[in-house]
Amino acid sequence: MTDNPHISIQHLNVQIGNHAILKDITLNIPNKKVISIIGPSGCGKTTLLKSFNRLLDDTADVKVTGKVLVDGENIYDPNVEVTHIRKKMGLLSQRPYPLPMSIYDNVAYGPRIHGTRKKKDLDEIVETQLKATGLWNEVKDRLHAPATRLSIGQQQRLCLARGLAVEPEIILGDESTSALDPVSTSIIEDLFVSLKEKYTIVLVTHILRQARRVSDYIVFVYMGKIIEFGPTEELLLNPKEELTKEYVKGFIS
Amino acid sequence: MIRRKLEESFFRVLMVLATIIVAGSFFLIVGTIFYKGMPFMNWDMVTKIPGGGFYIGKEGGVLNAIIGSLYVAGGATVLGLIISIPVAIYINMYMNGKNYVATGLRIAFDVLFGIPSIVYGAFGFFIMIYLGIRASLLGGILAVTLLVIPILVRTLDEVIQTVPKELRDAALSLGATRWEMSKVVLRQILPGIFTAILLSFGRAIGDVASVLFTAGFSDNIPTSLHQPAATLPLAIFFQLSSPIEEVQGRAYASALILTIVVLIITIFSSVLAKRFSKNKIQ
């Protein structure tokens, strides 16, 4: 682990209504690695992920205490500019949700709202990011077709390209392959592995095999608490905690 | 077993009957208007203003009312949209976490939705007297705008709620501001906006009570917002109350014109809705 992690969570509590979703989470996310958050349904994995870029703000009756430091800046500080925090992270959701516009405009959307206007610059960004996600050859002749015409696997790669176009430091994936077929899943997984050279990647998954295939570290969350955090092989093969052992062996889900 | 089969066929017959009644009344209404209006339909009806005084007039046409209705319904729909879109966006995009306020506003709009149009007419009339405006195109547009705002807001509200939260999250996580995210949502609901326009225009062009006192009536085509304007429903009302049979017949011809105008608007907006849904995610 490096000295200055991109994301450092300190005593984070999230409460929605009267229900405590996350309880006293403290975690340092290692830079330029793939980290998987695993755990049973409803354990708070997605909430934890969404707390990283303040997407929880839109939830009704939500109460967040504690700190999430991104590059040393507490993102829950009232003075912080939320769009600036979110720009640092690309989010890949469960199903692809392309913006209701063309393939080109989807990738150009982020750079445009952040002030890139020149067509030449935008063309370059679009090409670079579509190449980075392996989509360029498939779509270069129909860049101005609606993004919805793409297959669902292509759409998910487009969403990744769209996220990369704002030059984030961190990629957040919320069960990003759960709607995809096995071939598309494997393409996305390979992308994650290759992208960790440049980005810190945090994935939520409920598929243990996927966590094993792609991640360097695993966080096991159960009932809103971090039970165990460690290097992938170590956590899966030699879990220290009883609950992790039971989960990994499939006794609890 | 026999009881269940009987129940199945009983309700099936009931549904078929109900469908026949609905479809039948549609054809009956349109048929009646055609049957009674066609003999009086001629080119003059849609190209000329009334000749020889409206109440007894057998000559000329209802061009004044056609234009007046389009002005009133079009003006009210445009004005209504300018007010309703920001309201719908504000309720849905900016009021998160304060759901009780949004719920309160929705109830208020539902109440406004249910208020009979004569009440809007009376309210509009009161405002006009207060401001010293005569019955005019402007007065009519304002009263009808009040009438269509609840329709527009509630329709847009329903449509916006069908937008997946993940799409909003996607825009936000790219660093979009709330307004930038709202623009993405507006693109997504573009087809729905045309549905809202259709509903609003349909209600606006067919309403009598709200324009009765506010728009007035005139045999001439209004050339400014301050002149009184005729509307088709009001023209039908006047023609139908005439004792002369021929003028009554012209009322059915006017009704036919009104139906055709609404039909054209319906087709037009559904074609536009289709065209603009190519980018929409499902």
Tens-digit pLDDT profile for residues A103-136: 999 999 999 999 999 999 999 999 999 999 999 9
Contact B171 A102 (CB under 8 A): no
Q: What's the burial of A109, exposed, middle or buried (CB within 10 Å: 0-12/13-18/19+)? A: buried
Token pair in block for residue A59: 């939830």
Q: Does the pLDDT value for residue B174 go beyond 60? A: yes
B176 close to A (CB below 8 A): yes
What is the C-alpha separation between B265 and B66, in angstroms, rounded? 13
**A103 → chain B, closest CA residue:** B279
What is the C-alpha separation between A54 and B246, in angstroms, rounded? 71
- Does residue A160 sit within a domain? yes
- Tell me the torsion sign for CA atoms B174, B180, B186, B187: negative
Token pair in block for residue B218: 């005139």
Contact B174 A84 (CB under 8 A): no
- Does residue A4 sit within a domain? no
Q: What are phi and psi of B204, to 5 degrees?
A: -65, -40
Token pair in block for residue A33: 């690695």
Contact B174 A89 (CB under 8 A): no
Write the pLDDT tens digit of every residue in B102-115.
899 999 999 999 99
Token pair in block for residue B119: 């009440």
What is the C-alpha separation between A163 and A73, in angstroms, rounded? 21
Give the orientation angle of helix A152-164 with respect to helix A103-113, to 10 degrees.
Answer: 20
Contact A166 B171 (CB under 8 A): no
A62 close to B (CB below 8 A): yes
Q: What is the CATH number of the domain that holds A209?
A: 3.40.50.300
CB contact at 8 A, A170 and A6: yes
- Does residue A233 sit within a domain? yes
- Does residue A148 sit within a domain? yes
- Does residue A23 sit within a domain? no
A217-222/A34-38 β-pairing: parallel
For residue B59, give the amino acid letter. E
Domain that holds residue A211: 30-58+81-249
Poorest-pLDDT segment among A75-79, B72-76, B157-161 = A75-79
Higher pLDDT, A2 or A148: A148
Does the model's pTM come out above 0.80? Answer: yes
Percentage of the residues of chain B whose pLDDT score is greater than 70: 97
- Does residue A69 sit within a domain? no
Q: Does the pLDDT value for residue B96 go beyond 90? A: no
CB contact at 8 A, B233 and B206: yes
**A168 → chain B, closest CA residue:** B174
Q: In which order are the strands placed within the sheet that holds A200-204? A: A89-92, A170-174, A200-204, A34-38, A217-222, A225-231
Q: What are phi and psi of B134, to 5 degrees?
A: -80, 165
Three-state SS at B51: strand
How far is B271 from chain A, CA to nearest CA, in Å? 18
What is the C-alpha separation between B278 and A141, in angstroms, rounded? 18
CB contact at 8 A, B87 and B153: yes
Q: What's the burial of A81, exposed, middle or buried (CB within 10 Å: 0-12/13-18/19+)? A: exposed
What is the C-alpha separation between B206 and B218, in angstroms, rounded? 18
Please name which of A28, A49, A26, A25 lies closest in space to residue A37, comparing C-alpha atoms.
A49
The whole-chain average pLDDT of chain A stands at 91
Residue B55 pLDDT level (bands cut at 50, 70, 90)? low
Helices (H), chain B: 2-37, 43-47, 63-89, 99-114, 117-131, 137-161, 165-173, 178-188, 190-206, 209-212, 232-240, 245-275
Q: Does the pLDDT value for residue A60 go beyond 50? A: yes
Residue A71 pLDDT level (bands cut at 50, 70, 90)? confident
CB contact at 8 A, B183 and B168: no
Q: Does the pLDDT value for residue B282 go beyond 70? A: no
Total count of domains within chain A: 1
- Does residue A238 sit within a domain? yes
Please name which of B179, B173, B58, B9 lies closest in space to residue A160, comparing C-alpha atoms.
B173
Residue A1 pLDDT level (bands cut at 50, 70, 90)? very low
Contact A148 B281 (CB under 8 A): yes
Poorest-pLDDT segment among A2-6, A89-93, A167-171, B265-269 = A2-6
DSSP 8-class letter at B93: I
- Does residue A24 sit within a domain? no
| Mean predicted confidence (pLDDT) in B103-128 | 92
What is the C-alpha separation between A68 and A50, in angstroms, rounded? 11
Q: Please give the interface size between A and B, counted as residue pairs whose CB atoms are below 8 Å apart.
A: 90
| Mean predicted confidence (pLDDT) in A150-177 | 94
Contact B168 A58 (CB under 8 A): yes
DSSP-assigned states of every residue in chain A: --SS-SEEEEEEEEEETTEEEEEEEEEEEPTTSEEEEE--TTSSHHHHHHHTTTGGGGSTTEEEEEEEEETTEETTSTTS-HHHHHHTEEEE-SS----SSBHHHHHHHHHHHTT---HHHHHHHHHHHHHHTT-HHHHTT-TTSBGGGS-HHHHHHHHHHHHHTT--SEEEEESTTTTS-HHHHHHHHHHHHHHTTT-EEEEE-S-HHHHHHH-SEEEEEETTEEEEEEEHHHHHHS-SSHHHHHHHHTS--
**B92 → chain A, closest CA residue:** A58
Please name which of B244, B219, B218 lies closest in space to residue B52, comparing C-alpha atoms.
B219
DSSP 8-class letter at B134: P
